[in-house]
Structure 1
Amino acid sequence: MTAYAIAVLRPNAAPPHPDVLEYIERVQGTFAPYGGRFLSHGKRSEYVEGEWLGDLVMVEFPGLAHAHEWYASPAYQEILPLRTEHIPGEMIFLEGVPGDYDAGRTAAAMRSAAS
């Protein structure tokens, strides 16, 4: 099932540190062996509810195992400090839902479990 690597980054310098630019230049190449691709990167966000404190980056992978393998890969671990030493933030992995997902069925199962 499709999975996503989602990062909320809070850059604190403009222009970015040269290490960050090197990270950006190299990161996409680390996705290929794991089937990853950017869904969102460097795009303007519109906040319609609440307050958001950062830039959102989303990468899609064929599955959760692919995302974990990418993150642990020597190629990514080599460049990771180029970003983390200059940009604070968080990253999560999120498993997607199947194409036939129905939130109504989920609500019914939750109601049933609660009674």
Structure 2
Amino acid sequence: MSAYVIGLIDVHDPEGYPTYSQQVPATLEPYGGQFLVRGGQPEALEGEAPGRVVVIAFPSAEQARAWYESEGYKRIRPLRQQMATGQLVLVRGVDTPS
């Protein structure tokens, strides 16, 4: 079953943030991860919108978790944590009939 990592991110260092964000795609490849949403200017329909919303699709929750815990992502994760705050959540997708 597919799974998604959803990030609600507030960037505090917009000049430095690309140092992190440009390295993420290479860490996703081995785990089948693909960006579905990657950007700023979200529109709040209820509550307050974060500065950025990120949605990454994975073939399974196990692969999503393996990516998050991988050496490649562990190496760059502190960059995000230094330049931004927010939440990352892992959610499972819905099985749809074929």
TM norm structure 2: 0.90
**1:8, 1:89 within 8 Å by CA — same for their partners in 2?**
yes
**1:3, 1:95 within 8 Å by CA — same for their partners in 2?**
yes
Equivalent residue for 2:11?
A: 11
What pairs up with 1:1-115 in 2 under 5 angstroms?
A: 1-13=1-13, 16-18=14-16, 20-100=17-97
CA deviation after TM superposition for structure 1 residue 55, in Å: 1.5
Quote the Cα distance in structure 1 between the aligned partners of 2:47 and 2:76.
33
Q: Which shifted more, 65-74 or 36-45?
A: 36-45
TM norm structure 1: 0.77
**1:2, 1:64 within 8 Å by CA — same for their partners in 2?**
yes
Number of aligned pairs?
97
Match of 2:62, SS?
helix
Q: Any stretches of 5+ residues in structure 2 without a counterpart?
A: none
Task: Give the number of the structure whose residues are more often strand, by fraction.
Answer: 2
Task: Give the number of the structure whose residues are more often helix, by fraction.
Answer: 1
Quote the Cα distance in structure 2 between the aligned partners of 1:11 and 1:26.
16
Q: Any stretches of 5+ residues in structure 1 without a counterpart?
A: 101-115
CA deviation after TM superposition for structure 1 residue 43, in Å: 4.5
Quote the Cα distance in structure 1 between the aligned partners of 2:61 and 2:28.
13
Query: Cα RMSD over matched residues?
Result: 1.4
